[in-house]
Amino acid sequence: MRDATPQTIYLKDYTPPEYRLGQVELTFNLDEEDTRVISRLRVQKNPETAAPNAPLVLDGEDLELISVRINGQALPPDQYEVTPESLIIPGAPKVEVFNLEVETRINPRANTALEGLYLSSGMLCTQCEAQGFRKITYFPDRPDVMAPFSTLLIGDKTRYPVLLSNGNKVASGELKNNRHWVKWEDPFPKPCYLFALVGGRLECLEEKYTTGSGREVTLQIYVEAHDLDKCGHAMRSLQQAMRWDEQAYGREYDLDLYMIVAVGHFNMGAMENKGLNIFNTKFVLARPDTASDADYEHIQGVIGHEYFHNWTGNRITCRDWFQLSLKEGLTVFRDQEFTADHVSRAVKRIEDVNLLRTRQFAEDAGPLAHAVRPDSYIEINNFYTLTVYEKGAEVVRMLHTLLGAERFRKGTDLYFERHDGQAVTCDDFVRAMEDANGVELQQFRRWYAQAGTPELFVVGDYDAAERALTLTVKQHCPPTPGQSVKEPLHIPLALGLVGPDGNDYPLRLEGEDEPATKSTRVLDVTATQQRFRFVGLPEKPVISALRGFSAPVRLHLHHSYEELAFLLAHDSDPFNRWDAGQTLASRIVLNLVEQLIEGEQPHKADPHLLQAYRKALTQDWDDLSYLALLLTLPSEDYISALMKVIDPDAVHNARQLVKRELAQALRAELTALYHAHHRDESGRFDADAVGRRKLKNVCLAYLAELDTPESHALCLKQFREARNMTDQIAALGGIVNSTHPERAASLDAFYEQWQGEALVIDKWFALQATCHLTGTLTSVQALLNHPAFDLKTPNRVRSLVGAFCQSNPVNFHAADGAGYRFLGDHVIELNAINPQIASRMVSPLTQWRRYDDGRQKLIREQLRRIADTAGISKDVYEVASKSLA
C-alpha cells in the first residue's frame, strides 16, 4: 500500500549499478504459507560507479528477513538496516568481490496481488516482471544487473510432483517426509525479472523440435490434467514461431528445453521467463468446441510473442524500465508479422490498426499520455500500455517501411551481434539501424520521446493543363501533459494515386527522369509543411494516402462519398480499401448522430453505404475474412473518437439504426450468403474455414438485428447445433442482444454445458456484460453474486467488470452515473486484493474530458473518491491522480 507521497522515478536520474552479480544460487523450500528462500550471491563492486564505501542496497518488499551472512559470517542486526522497500548493508566489504547469503520467508497464499511467488489453484508459480522478484528475496531488482542463476527447488512430492525453473534440469533426488528436490541451471545471464519457478500437480504435452542447425530441443506444455487435450494448437504455434524466427531473423533457440506452463490466475497474457514461459490459460488452451477462431489466433500470436522475446528481451534486455518498448515494441512488431505470414496479412493489419486507433489514440489524447519511451513513472506496472506496446510496434514498423525489408534485417542482424548479452536502450536499437545501413535517423528518434498522436493534413490540387497533382502535407502534434511544444516528426507517408479506371497511376515526382514504375511510394514527410508534385497524370486521380497505415497518425484527407465508394471498390491497397468503407460508414453514422442530438427524427441513412455493401456482397472474394471486415461497421468507440463531445446514446442509436437499415435492405443477400457458408463443422482452424465462419457470423449478426421470429429461429438453430465455439458463441450473442424468447433458457443451457470450463464461463459472463439492451447493469450486478464469480481471479474480473466498463459504452455511460459508481466500487474493492488489476480497471474513467458536463462531473466524483481512499496503492493512485490533474 501507498506511502504518504509516492515517489516519481525519472529517466534522467538513471545511473549504472554500483554492484554487479556473478553467480546467483537460490534454494526454495516450498510451502503454501511458509516458503523459505535462501539466496547466495557473488557480489562484485563496480569500481567505475561505486564509491569505496558505498552501501549495498538490495530491493525487497513484503519479506520476513531471517538471516544475512557475508563470506559465511552471520551479520548482527546492527550491521544492516531493513526498510519497507530494502535491505541496506552500510558496511559492505571493502573488497572487490564477496559472498552474500540472505534467508527470507514468504507466504504465497496471502499473495493476492499475483506478483512474486503466489498460489493459483494449488499450484505455486511466479510473476517477476517488472519488480516482482523483490517480493521473493532481497536482490538488486533492476534489469541491468544480469547473472547466471542456479535454482534448487524442494517440495512435497504429492502437492508438487512437478518442480520447474529456468534453464536445464541438472539433477533431482528424494528426501525424507515425502519431499523431493530438483536442481535447475540457466547458463544465460539474465536479470531477475526473467526468473520463474513452478511447483504443482501438472501434466505435460511433450514434442521435439529440430533447429535449423540440427539441434534437438524438447518442447513441453504443462497444464492441469483435464486440459491436456487443449494444448495441440499452442504446441503447433510454438513450432511455427521457432521456425519463423529462424527464417525471418536468423534466430535459433538456445537451450535444450522450452517449457510453457498455463495458470488460471494471471494478471496479464503471458510472461517470457527464460526457458519457462508462464501463460494465462486463455492463451494456451484451445479445442474447437471450447475456443473460438479469435482465441486460436490470439494463442498463436501470444505464443509467438513470448517465444520471440527469447532474443528481443531476454538475450538482449532493457537497461532500465523506461526502455520497455525496446523489447515490447519490437516483439509486438515481430509477432504481428509472424501472424500476418500465417493468416491473411490484410486482415491482421486491419485488426492491429483498429486497436491502435480506438484505444491507443485515446490513451495518447488523454491525461496519461506518455511517450513510447516515457520519462517518468510512479508505478512501472502502469506503463505496460498500448503506447509502449502497440505504438512502439508502429515505430519499429516505420523503420521497416523507411529502410525496406532487406536493410531492416541488416539492422537487426547488427543489433543482435552487437548487443547479445547486454541490457541496452531504444537508442542503441536505432543506432544499429543507422550503422548497418549508413543512414541517419536523428529526427526519427523523436517518435520515442514525443507523446501524442500527430495529425497529418493532406490536400491535393490537380492541374488538368499540366497533368500534375500538387500534394500539400502538413503535420501537427497536439500538446500532451508535460509536453506543450512538439517538434515535427519524420513520417513515412505511403501514397497511391488511383485513376478513373480504378488502376493506380505510376508515380513520378516532378524533376525525376526515370520512367515511373511504382504505384505506391513512401514519401518522407519531415517538415511542418511540405509539397510534393506528381506529374504525368492524364486525369484527376483519387488520392489513396497512408497506405497500409504507414504511420500512427490521424489522417485528415477529405473525400466525397463518391470518392470513398470508389476507393472501397478499387483501391489496390487492402488496408485503404477497407478504411474507405470505415470512413464512409462513420460519416453516415455521424450525420445521424447530429440529427439525434438536435432532437430530429433521424431520416434514412445515406444510401452510399448500402450501395457499396450490396456491390461487395455480390462480388467473388478469395479472402472471406477480409470481406467480413469490409462489412463490419466501425465500432462505437471509433465513431465516438471522431466527436468533439461524445454522446454515447446518440452514437449507439445511430449506429444501430444504420445496422438495422442495412439488415433490412440486404436481408436476401445476407441470408443467401449465410446459407452459402454455413456448415455443420467441428471447427478446424485453417484460413478458409475461419474466413467462412467469420463471414457467415457477420451475416448472422446483421440478421439478428431484425429481431423477428425468423432471425430468432436462425440464431437458435445455430446455437443448438453448433459443434464449434465460434458458431455457438456468435449465435448466443445474437440471442442475448435481442428480445429472443429463448434468451434466458439459452444462457442457462450454455452455462450448464460449460460449467467445467473456466475459459468458456468467462465468455458467458462477458457476453452478458456487453449486452447493449437496457437493464444490463442490473444483470451484471446480479452476476457478481453468481457462485462462479470471483474477484480474486483476474480473468473473471475482466470478463464481467472489465467487459461492462470497457466494452459496453451505452450502458457504462448511463447519464445517471450508475455505471461510474459501479466501477468506482470495484476499483476500491480490487485495490485491496490486486492493485495491478484495480489500476487497469480505472482506464475508462481517465477519458472524462471527452464527455458532456454532467458525465464529467460524475466521473470526476468517482476518480476523487478512488484517489482519496485510505490505503490506495501506488498503481491506482498514479492513474486516478494524473487523470484528475
Site residues, ligand B3K (CB under 6 A) = 129-130, 268, 270-272, 305-306, 309, 328, 381, 384
Number of residues that bind Zn ion (CB under 5 A): 2
Contact of residue 368 among Zn ion, ligand B3K, none (CB under 5-8 Å per partner type): none
Give the whole-angstrom CA distance, residue 334 versus residue 332. Answer: 5
Give the whole-angstrom CA distance, residue 389 versus residue 403. Answer: 21
Minimum CB distance to ligand B3K, residue 532 (Å): 38
Minimum CB distance to Zn ion, residue 513 (Å): 47
Compare residues 271 and 551 and give the one whose CB is closer to ligand B3K.
Answer: 271
Give the whole-angstrom CA distance, residue 431 versus residue 441. Answer: 8
* Phi and psi based region of residue 132 (left: phi greater than 0; alpha: psi -120 to 50; beta: remaining): alpha
Compare residues 334 and 740 and give the one whose CB is closer to ligand B3K.
Answer: 334
Give the whole-angstrom CA distance, residue 760 versus residue 724. Answer: 12
Reduced 3-state DSSP string for 419-447: HCCCEECHHHHHHHHHHHHCCCCCHHHHH
- With contact defined as beta carbons under 8 Å apart, do 458 and 472 qualify? yes
Binding pattern for the stretch 314-333 against Zn ion, x by CB under 5 A and - elsewhere? --------------x--x--
Minimum CB distance to ligand B3K, residue 342 (Å): 19
Reduced 3-state DSSP string for 688-756: HHHHHHHHHHHHHHHHHHCCCHHHHHHHHHHHHHCCCHHHHHHHHHHHHCCCCCCHHHHHHHHHHHHCC
Contact of residue 579 among ligand B3K, Zn ion, none (CB under 5-8 Å per partner type): none
Q: Which residues pair with 469 in a beta bridge?
A: 462, 534
CA Rg, the chain, in Å?
28
Q: Give the DSSP letter of residue 159.
A: T
Compare residues 335 and 571 and give the one whose CB is closer to ligand B3K.
Answer: 335
Minimum CB distance to ligand B3K, residue 267 (Å): 6
Q: Tell me which residues are annotated as active site.
A: 306
> Which residue lies nearest ligand B3K, judged by its C-beta?
129
Compare residues 134 and 305 and give the one whose CB is closer to ligand B3K.
Answer: 305
Contact of residue 271 among ligand B3K, Zn ion, none (CB under 5-8 Å per partner type): ligand B3K
Minimum CB distance to Zn ion, residue 313 (Å): 7
Contact of residue 217 among Zn ion, ligand B3K, none (CB under 5-8 Å per partner type): none
Q: Give the DSSP letter of residue 635.
A: P
Compare residues 302 and 433 and give the one whose CB is closer to Zn ion.
Answer: 302
Give the whole-angstrom CA distance, residue 642 versus residue 659. Answer: 19
Nearest to 19 by CA among 72, 56, 64: 56
First to last CA, the chain: 22
Contact of residue 297 among ligand B3K, Zn ion, none (CB under 5-8 Å per partner type): none
Give the whole-angstrom CA distance, residue 425 versus residue 350. Answer: 30
- Cell 553467480 found at: 23
Contact of residue 43 among ligand B3K, Zn ion, none (CB under 5-8 Å per partner type): none
Minimum CB distance to Zn ion, residue 393 (Å): 10
Compare residues 57 and 356 and give the one whose CB is closer to Zn ion.
Answer: 356
Compare residues 186 and 328 and give the one whose CB is closer to Zn ion.
Answer: 328
Minimum CB distance to ligand B3K, residue 552 (Å): 19
Minimum CB distance to ligand B3K, residue 328 (Å): 5
Contact of residue 129 among Zn ion, ligand B3K, none (CB under 5-8 Å per partner type): ligand B3K
- Strands 423-424 and 317-318, by their bridges, are parallel
Compare residues 332 and 863 and give the one whose CB is closer to ligand B3K.
Answer: 332
- Burial degree of 86 (CB within 10 A; 0-12, 13-18, 19+): middle
Could you list the beta-strand ranges (E) of 238-298. Answer: 257-263, 270-271, 276-280
- Cα–Cα distances in angstroms (integers) from residue 172 to residues 31, 157, 402, 875, in the given order: 18, 12, 52, 40
User: Residues interacting with Zn ion, by CB under 5 A?
Assistant: 328, 331
